[in-house]
Amino acid sequence: MRTYDIGGVTVDRRTLIRLGGVAALAAVPATGLLSGCAFSGGDDGNGSAGAGTRSAKNPLGVKEDAPVEFFNFEGGYGKDWPKIDTTLYRGRFPRAKVTINGGQQLKQQLQPRFVGGNPPDLTATNDLDLPALVQQGQLMPLDQLLQAPSFDTPGKTVAQTLLPGVTTFGTLDGKIYAHPYVDGMSGIWYSQPLLDQHGWQYPHTWDEMMALCAKIKAAGIAPWTYQGKYPGYIVNPMLNIALKAAGMELGRTIDNLAPNAWKDPALLATATRFHELAAKGYLLEGTTGLTHTQAQTYWAQRKAVFIPCGSWLENELGDIAPKDLGMTVNSPPSLSANEKMPFEAVQVNVGGDFAVPTKAKNPLGGMELLRIMLSKQACADFTKRTSELVVVDGYADNLSLSSALKSRRAAVKLAGSNLISLPHYQTWYPAMSKAIEDATSALMGLQITPADWVTRCQQAADTTAKDSTIHKFHA
């Protein structure tokens, strides 16, 4: 997952999401959460709460009076969205105490608890190094959850209520350890009313984009801005554009650390175009030093026309966004009109993952809470609170949607089967991801050339490939 900043923390691409690739979706450290540490404490991994009696209303066999703790990532979606989930849990298990804790620096907050053997029963995974946790046996596979009946869709299992392909985003070494939640999308955002006011059309190719940028600059508006202090935001559309040109096989080549993968002509051409944005003065002044909130606020104030971001943008802006902003998202312009994938191909960001720690006191309770979170009732409440969609199929069909959500759904509909999932290296290899982000900062700051950027990215991949201490994954 490439990485994205949400609420001040860089997350994987698959979100958030992945940053997924996630995930999507805070500077993810070069070293793993528990790298070099032997975990200790806790019990045999089955949880100290024990199990209750399985029934139609309790298919996982949760002990009905056992406390359960959820650790929330308090970023772009805030603190309040889990209230419906805990209310539904208490309704099913009235004798259980449900606790919600959280923060924005999950690595720092949870590392002592993983090491001490007392992690929460269900946790967001933002800022955590999933490969390191999996390799150390700290997370439970979620097969039992997926095979359980849906909380409020009779006749279907949890897995059968999900959008196609969702669970692949949380899968490592053939097992799903982190369940995606947010059905996000990343792209280029703009105000449709602003474009209409000036008679501008959203460009489908980069030649059209550069021609439009000249007109925008002449009108006294900055064509582009981005979240400069968190370069994962600009890496994301760069990879998106390169994959549209070269095809999804390029992503698999990158993830498999293939020699010269980063020297693909599509990546060099994309880097050249983004370098040109900076060289021609098409970035809002000071963009490379802006935080995510600063850049997004300036964009909402119409000081810049285009900004790359994930679909959490609407909720994160909140009241900062004028009511007449008309937030609209589209796929980044293509390098040319003749490519492996059409302009309409969009990048999906399945992310906002949740995991059940092996050493949790009540892991079955954690799974049950996640089962509730994946119910139609809970998903509808989440969307109303956050203006974000969830990975459950069909639940939002009758909801009243904002202009931003409508544009997202329209873009995905136009894309059809042309959905882009960015490479997983940002989740799998945090140190490599950080090196590529640093190179991208230098590129956009005009400190290096596009050719230099390609070289530095390839060097980061080669270093990872040669390091025998790093567990390798395969796409």
Helix (H, G, I), strand (E, B) or coil at 195: helix
* pLDDT value at residue 1: 33
pTM over 0.85: no
* pLDDT value at residue 77: 83
* pLDDT value at residue 337: 86
For residue 122, the surrounding DSSP H or E stretch is strand 122-124
Q: What angle do CA 283, 286, 290 make, to 5 degrees?
A: 100
> Which tokens in the block code for residue 343?
């302009």
* pLDDT value at residue 47: 58
> Buried (b) or exposed (e) across 279-299, using 16+ Cβ within 10 A?
eeebbbeebbebebebbbbbb
* pLDDT value at residue 417: 84
Question: Using an 8 Å Cβ cutoff, are 42 and 113 in contact?
Answer: no
Q: Which amino acid is at 295?
A: A
Helix (H, G, I), strand (E, B) or coil at 469: coil
DSSP 96: S
Mean per-residue pLDDT pooled into runs of 10, the chain (475 residues): 33 34 31 33 49 91 96 86 95 96 91 94 90 92 96 96 82 88 93 98 98 98 97 96 97 97 98 98 97 97 97 89 95 94 91 92 97 97 90 89 89 87 90 97 98 98 97 88
N- to C-terminal Cα distance for the chain? 13
Taking CA atoms, 353 is separated from 24, 128, 267, 331, 383, in Å, by 9, 10, 29, 24, 16
> Which tokens in the block code for residue 54?
């399985």
* pLDDT value at residue 140: 96
Burial of residue 179, with CB atoms counted within 10 A of its CB: 0-12 exposed, 13-18 middle, 19 or more buried: buried
* pLDDT value at residue 10: 36
50: left (phi over 0), alpha (psi -120 to 50) or beta: left
Superfamily of domain 4-183+350-406: Periplasmic binding protein-like II (3.40.190.10)
Q: Residue 25: count other Cβ atoms within 10 Å of its Cβ.
A: 41
Nearest in space to 357 (alpha carbons), one of 13, 83, 33:
33
10 DSSP β-pair partners: 5
Q: What are phi and psi of 389, to 5 degrees?
A: -95, 160
* pLDDT value at residue 387: 85
Domain positions in the chain: 4-183+350-406
For residue 310, the surrounding DSSP H or E stretch is strand 304-310
Nearest in space to 244 (alpha carbons), one of 349, 166, 346, 350:
346
* pLDDT value at residue 85: 96
Q: Strands 68-73, 18-19: parallel, antiparallel or unpaired by DSSP?
A: unpaired
Question: Rounded to the nearest 10 degrees, what angle do helices 265-279 and 206-218 cross at?
Answer: 10
* pLDDT value at residue 453: 98
* pLDDT value at residue 475: 81
* pLDDT value at residue 48: 66
* pLDDT value at residue 419: 87
* pLDDT value at residue 412: 85
